[in-house]
Amino acid sequence: MKKEDINHSERIISFFNKEIPWWTEIYREDLPKGFFSFEMRQRLKFVTELLIAQIQKMNNPEVLECGCGPGDILTLLATLRCRLTGLDINRRYLDLTAEKVPGAALIEGSVEQLPFPDASFDIVFAVGVLMYLKDDRLAAKEISRVTKDGGFILISVPNYQMLHLLLDPYYIFRFFKRSVSKNKNQSDDGLGADKIRRYSLPKLKNLFQKYNLHEVRSMVTSFGPWRFWRKEILPVTASIRISEIMRKLSERKICSGLKYVGNQLIVILQKGPIIDRESKKNNDK
């Protein structure tokens, strides 16, 4: 591994070590009901529902989580008929996961260099991981490599084109300020919200299409909160109600364009040609 890659990995480990108390409690229902807490619980809800639905269609599938963190998602899958593997670069998170999911195989390693043979897994998922990596293209290639033909991949990342930011004049002003600034080089000494990589829906799909992974379904978790100059102008409960209305509209074909401006993107992909199981059944009769 190159020295710069090692340094980046060390920064990721250091960043998440500092945030262990926060990440281990991020999904708790009794935490303050800020909009971000709502958004994270929505992400957990939809990701888990999609994974459970896919696992139940398969016969004891091999499932890999890339960047399993403290094991919240693996815990919710542990009662299903499947074989779970969790991978994380941070040993401390793997120790926490081992306490929650003792039946899972837990591996210390990088998503950019997955320590598994080709075609090892039926389902691979990475939630909130790609944006921290040094090379997301290498991660996409590795995810494709370890997925079986016909296997499924679930990816969740923050959207680059969030509607509530596009409507806030502060971010419009900041965009134009940066575009004319002589010093466009940003500091690379952290991994906070302003340093992580963000994705548009087309960019995310194109990243994986290069490695024979094709979209089956895409959705967003939420919309909002609504702000003016970075200050929230609506109560959290009102923002949540508006968010749910917009999210449900985005699931309808006529309003599907709303997915492009939601908060967190969730995309399910399949390796190789997309298999229409119903058509296959009809053809076999």
Side-chain half-sphere of 127: how many Cα atoms within 13 Å? Answer: 24
Pick the CATH number of 3-284 from 3.30.70.3400, 3.40.50.300, 3.40.50.150, 2.40.37.10: 3.40.50.150
pLDDT (tens digit per residue) in 175-200: 788 777 655 444 333 334 446 788 99
Domain boundaries of the chain, sorted by first residue: 3-284
pLDDT (tens digit per residue) in 224-262: 999 999 999 999 999 999 999 999 999 999 999 999 999
pTM of the model: 0.88
pLDDT (tens digit per residue) in 109-151: 999 999 999 999 999 999 999 999 999 999 999 999 999 999 9
Q: What is the 3-state secondary structure (H, E, C) of the chain?
A: CCHHHHHHHHHHHHHHHHCHHHHCCCCCCCCCCCHHHHHHHHHHHHHHHHHHHHHHCCCCCEEEEECCCCCHHHHHHCCCCCEEEEEECCHHHHHHHHHHCCCCEEEECECCECCCCCCCEEEEEEECCHHHCCCHHHHHHHHHHHEEEEEEEEEEEEECCCHHHHCCHHHHHHHHHHHHCCCCCCCCCCCCCCCCCCECHHHHHHHHHCCCEEEEEEEECCCCCCEECCEECCCHHHHHHHHHHHHHHHCCHHHHHHHHHCCEEEEEEEECCCCCHHHHHHHHC
